Amino acid sequence: MTRLLPHPILTPVLTVIWLLLNNSIDAGHIVLGLILGWAIPVLTIHFWPETVIIRKPLMLIKYTIVLLFDIIMANFTVARLILGNPDRLQPVFVKLPLDLNSDLAISLLANSITLTPGTLSAQLSEDCSYLLVHALNETDPKSLIATIKQRYEHPLKEIFESC
Amino acid sequence: MLEYFLSFLILTGAIFTFIGSLGLLRLKDLFTRLHGPTKATTLGVGCLLIASAVYFSTYTEAISLHEILITLFLFITAPISAHLLAKAALHLDLQSIAKIPENDEVEESGTDAAIIDDIKDSVKESNPASINDTPVPLDETDLQKKP
């Protein structure tokens, strides 16, 4: 089972991407997409040693909605900061200690941090114990860490890692 | 009516893309400059892509959903390129308005010693007094001067 279907989630994702690329839902394209979705994970199994398990799909949908909302807010925040006086900005580096263990969850967290208000993930320590975050205008690093942990890291931990 | 909505989306997209690029000009160091293109641009390009999807779905026969893929790839790749640029900037010891953290400030245990040493060295070598005087060079010729 694991050899024939190494990544059960990747297969439908690849199929949907194939259908989107072709912009059609013909039966032929669905079959071709399914074949590609099965063949690509089998052929590239050595690049993907970890099997992705989504423990709480509903939580993932909720997380995506929160993230999209935050991205839109981030755009307005950063636009305002750019148009304001740049000399008054207080950029700061913050170290965010990580509770996550899986690679996928950490990369998703780093991506989320970069896409959301005024923060940018700059560096991950080699043992994955903390993430160096650059904030564009932040006077209170402690509350920033608390917000990121509560808003993004906690849901990601629940989705991808057992509690 | 739909045309007005689409025009509004395209204009909003253009404005946000412009603000993102303006950030490159107005902000002072590489790290703050990274914020403009990674954020303001996502909404800008997002608006343009929504307008494109709605337009081609309405005025042509086929439903156009390529744009979802473009959005997806943009949202995946923009943070990664920003992350790599920031990482490269840390290694090249570029000047930063924000203080690059040292080991003492870390409250949690288990940090990576090698990277901390790297960052410490970079703090020693850079000259903190001149940080606010000159903007950090961003073009390639200036980057090449550094070892």
**A75 and A139 housed in the same domain:** yes
Count of the separate structural domains present in chain A? 2
Token pair in block for residue B66: 């390529």
Q: Give the three-class secondary structure for A127.
A: coil
Q: Give which of B83, B116, B126 to mutate to test A binding, by max A Cβ within 10 Å.
A: B83
Contacts of B19 in chain A (CB under 8 A): 79, 82-83
Query: Residue A90 falls within a domain, yes or no?
Result: yes
Query: Residue A3 falls within a domain, yes or no?
Result: no
Contacts of A16 in chain B (CB under 8 A): none
- Predicted confidence band of residue B7 (pLDDT cuts 50, 70, 90): very high
**A76 and A94 housed in the same domain:** yes
**A61 and A41 housed in the same domain:** no
Q: Give the three-class secondary structure for A95.
A: strand
**A64 and A138 housed in the same domain:** yes
**Taking all residues of chain B, what is their mean pLDDT, rounded to a whole number?**
72
**A119 and A43 housed in the same domain:** no
- Please tell me the distance from the alpha carbon of residue B130 to that of residue B95, in angstroms, as a whole number: 9
A119-124, strands of its sheet edge to edge: A92-97, A130-135, A119-124
Query: Residue A37 falls within a domain, yes or no?
Result: yes
Residue A132: which domain range?
57-160
Query: Residue A136 falls within a domain, yes or no?
Result: yes
Query: Residue A4 falls within a domain, yes or no?
Result: no
DSSP per-residue string spanning A70-83: HHHHHHHHHHHHHH
Q: pLDDT at position A3, please? A: 64
CB distance B22 to B67 below 8 Å: no
Query: Residue A79 falls within a domain, yes or no?
Result: yes
Q: pLDDT at position A145, please? A: 80
Token pair in block for residue A138: 């932040």
Its ipTM equals 0.74
**A17 and A96 housed in the same domain:** no
Query: Residue A52 falls within a domain, yes or no?
Result: no
**A64 and A30 housed in the same domain:** no
Q: What pTM value is reported for the model? A: 0.69
**A121 and A153 housed in the same domain:** yes
What confidence tens digit (pLDDT) does each residue in A37-81 have? 888 888 887 777 666 777 777 888 888 888 888 888 878 888 888
